[in-house]
Structure 1
């Protein structure tokens, strides 16, 4: 069986890729002044817990802090977190269980080589940016782990293949960015049958945009 992509999916955006790369350099959000705190731009490894307010923070930027893990002291009120340009090697949804209001998580350009879609993460998370990390594979995805996730950005990772139902635990997924990955390089069947199927094998009906530009795929094949 060949995998079929939904008619609405955008498979090739090569002519827009240059503009998109410029756009990706624009900060996803800015720090609010509502009891917020921002990195001073140094590469200090000291814990931000020493200066981070305990409450009232909704948006937090922790770029370039040489962090190997996200601080456990992050306030429960946090809705947007940017931990880009650090040294994180893994990401587990369970490690975010103390952030029930988190909606946007940006971990661009870390060293993340493994993710765990375990239950217990923030139920309202709708945007997850893991671009330019070191993800060569994605783990099995079962159940509705992140039921609110609408945007998943995996651009720039060394992904070479997708297993069946790789994204099945994201039933609300609308925008999936797999651009500039290694899909199609050295793998005869880079995208398995039902790679974009739901938990019961049904197509991901909410998926509207699938960006495969800049990969090694020579042609689109079809059906879930």
Structure 2
């Protein structure tokens, strides 16, 4: 039985992913600062502001369950700033947010790949290994008052792109930056659909082929290659 590790398992996307992957036959491990989901899921206390603790998390999950063949990084952190003062956020907050949005995903991807290599093609099965980072439109677009959040998402998006298109393009590993949008392509500034994420993430995990690494999707529609737009307002 394959193991799926969900890092940042809250009551929306994390919960939906845990439910869907469990029903699909995966052992599910969830990692978060506090246990917010059903006790039937094996919970591991984890603080994404401390990237140095990522290896220990993977070691524990691998020992208790099995090496994860699917890793979903769903944790995030952000602070809003004044529209006219993007540099008002103090350095400590910027560093903390980068730890969650960039540094911990970096270490998580590294540990995931180490696990994929240990499992090998036989252990991974036909679908291979999958690493999914829950992103948003900020890797290509600007929204007012959240520059720091976009910095972290952009860095992790580049990492996913590099892993998918260059570093491991010849391996049975898949890497995705998941970005839910409205059907017209407008960013989901609120009201993320956990069930839509879970449905798409399971589909990507089961597909042996690498699909578009920048996986923009809408609920009920699946992947959509939206026209690129670099600036959005908060009108919606």
TM over 0.5: no
The structure with the larger Rg is: 1
For CA contacts below 8 A with separation 6 or more, give which structure has more relative contact order.
2
TM-score normalised according to structure 2 size = 0.32
Could you say which structure has the higher helix fraction? 2
Could you say which structure has the higher strand fraction? 2
